[in-house]
Structure 1
């Protein structure tokens, strides 16, 4: 049966909003299915196909209390994990990301002489715009709440002097690697080509050390890069992340457990966090902390 991932996610997001609004009344699966205009069995199949888990299991974990508990249970682990750099079970290891920073000269040239291929694709979290250079993925942003046109304009603003070429077929390969099907093994060799200031690169590098299924706070990130007094600046750098999902800015919460900001909407952020946690059942207890290394031993971005 042919499926539309963009339509699927729209229904899922609508269901999540309903669950949040009606949390006090504890809606059933039938209530949620009825709200999105589907039969209970159809919604069950759609949700399981989309997420790899049952909607009942998801609903049990779709609470604000979960986010608060993540902060408490993950804090000590993440302080060590962030300090240890890429030695822990982070997304960088899961996808074997090869992350390169543009050289200072390339940064100044703003993409002059560079050809960037781009395409719009469906993903488990809705439509996205992905862009690649010969060195790897340089941009990944979800469409919504902004339009496709606005998403493309933002990409072109980031690389003002580059040449842009639409390439649905070529970028489809990158999307398949970035978003493996539920239950599928991650494909190694995914490369990123990142452009930012030295401070932004430090923050994004720290984000790459936050493992799947865990969360951190702006303050913990600031401490991890030896900038304890710069939580606000860290938050700004997180918000400027050019490669969503792969550089996991969605894993950063406020110290209170509140979701905090997310450029592509709180519903999408909440769905990402819950799915990641549920796909790691071993995280029901806090594992032993990895060995701590000093900031000086954390891996640096390689320059293209």
Structure 2
């Protein structure tokens, strides 16, 4: 087993990209609503959900509308399991077409321009040796996020709302066991602001540095071509990268994506329409899909 990589720094304060307490609160409201909807055999009214959460109906509606830009009733529809099937039926994206149109790599990802480069296979094999990775905690629309990056760009984003902060941090630290880690959120802040849509317009791109095996990077490149509000399947990704029989390996590569949200592994679903799993918690995946599709349709 590899030793824990050296980590410099000791600050624990989260950088408030948004109003920190407000965004965490909003995510937790959505998270609790997801649980209520999942556990209910019959559709719940707006009043019933608000009462269960302990809010007035008007306050609950305001929180939801500010978070996703649509009414709670419409948002509830996005959170249901059969929404995955609706996405596949109405929002399905063909990755081959995206590649043919040149949408991969430096193409547009939702409302954000990204540029990215990948480390060489030799660099990946060295497990981060000689590499300095900066990291910090930030408040995001989906709760606390730990973000990591090199001088070249963001290399990792993890979410702690479901698994806890210590587990999320250790998860990313273990990806590159021989790197040196330095806590420096201010170095990353401009990129993270852009990544979560809170930038001031002074930065055009949120650069990414993809750190993975060649096959993984091919899968992540395919994910980058999926527009916001659309989804694909693991089998379609396998076809898009020219290896249609590698569905299981594609699923593994999707699950190992270190740059959550920006490399949108949450947009990959099972062929049956089921949501499948998500490394940072299935409720997080469902919230992200609802967040994107609600905005795409407003």
Same fold (TM > 0.5): yes
Structure-2 separation of matches of 1:176 and 1:135: 16
The within-5 A match list for 1:203-242 is 203-242=219-258
Query: 1:289 corresponds to which residue?
Result: none
Q: Does residue 47 of the first structure (1) align with residue 64 of the second (2)?
A: yes
Query: 1:261 corresponds to which residue?
Result: 277
Counterpart among 133, 143, 149 of residue 166 in structure 2? 149
Structure-1 separation of matches of 2:159 and 2:119: 23
Question: Which ranges in structure 1 are unaligned for 5 or more consecutive residues?
Answer: 283-304
Computed over aligned residues only, the root mean square deviation of the Cα atoms, in angstroms, reads: 2.6
Q: TM-score, length-normalised on structure 2?
A: 0.85
The within-5 A match list for 1:104-115 is 104-115=121-132
Query: 2:180 corresponds to which residue?
Result: 163
Q: Write 1 or 2 for the structure with the bigger share of helix.
A: 1
Cα pair distance change 1:223/1:212, threshold 3 Å: same
Question: Which ranges in structure 2 are unaligned for 5 or more consecutive residues?
Answer: 1-18
Aligned residues: 280
Cα pair distance change 1:2/1:160, threshold 3 Å: closer
Query: 1:285 corresponds to which residue?
Result: none
The alpha-carbon deviation at position 6 of structure 1 amounts to 1.9
1:162-187 Cα distance to aligned partner (Å, 9 max, x none):
221112333333321111159x9896
Tell me, yes or no, if the aligned pair for 1:89 and 1:211 is still in contact at 8 Å.
Answer: no
Q: TM-score, length-normalised on structure 1?
A: 0.83
SS at match of 1:279: helix
Structure-2 separation of matches of 1:264 and 1:88: 24
Structure-1 separation of matches of 2:188 and 2:77: 36
Cα pair distance change 1:171/1:87, threshold 3 Å: closer
Query: 1:252 corresponds to which residue?
Result: 268
Counterpart among 148, 173, 179 of residue 196 in structure 2? 179
Q: Does residue 68 of the first structure (1) align with residue 80 of the second (2)?
A: no
